[in-house]
Amino acid sequence: MAHTFNVDTQAPQQSIDITEKVVAAVAESGVDDGFCHVMVLHSTASIIINETADPNIGRDVIDALGRAVPTRSDWLHDRIDDNAHSHIKAAILGPSEMIAIDQGALVLGKWQEIMLIEFDGPRERQVSVRFLSS
């Protein structure tokens, strides 16, 4: 069972709350108990779980990674298409999250939501949501 949706990013780097889209996919799936795997189908973006009530959290994550992985360095991949820092940041955070489903609802804490983190935008991103029913 699978569901795919697109996310249009608007900036070179940004965080976008995609929780509502994933919740809709869970409802459409009919899975009552199991797991939901959310994966961005790109190598310069990531999926994370964190707080989105304060949008500064997403910005802080991006800024922290920017300090750890500078945009300009002697990255070998920059000789090809000048976005090595985006690939490295995405590799650090990872492309996916696995979330439990209990009684048809995602098991997330009070302040937890699902975010897509863009490192090489603006672009149209595809997100795959797959389900395992228990």
Print pLDDT tens along the chain (134 aa): 789 999 999 999 999 999 999 999 999 999 999 999 999 999 999 999 999 889 899 999 999 999 999 888 888 887 889 899 999 999 999 999 999 999 999 999 999 999 999 999 999 999 999 999 98
What was the pLDDT predicted at 1? Answer: 77
What was the pLDDT predicted at 44? Answer: 98
What was the pLDDT predicted at 89? Answer: 97
Instruction: Give the span between the Cα atoms of 113 and 88, in whole angstroms.
Output: 23
Number of independent structural domains in the chain:
1
Strand (E) or helix (H) holding 53:
none
What was the pLDDT predicted at 14? Answer: 97
Instruction: Give the span between the Cα atoms of 105 and 74, in whole angstroms.
Output: 45
What was the pLDDT predicted at 30? Answer: 94
- 3-class secondary structure, 49: strand
What was the pLDDT predicted at 65? Answer: 97
Helix and strand numbers, DSSP H then E, in the chain: 4, 8
Give the structural domain span for 93: 2-133
Assigned token pair, 7:
């996310």
Q: Edge-to-edge strand order for the sheet containing 2-8?
A: 2-8, 124-133, 34-40, 96-102, 105-106
pTM of the model: 0.95
CATH of the domain at 36: 2.60.120.460
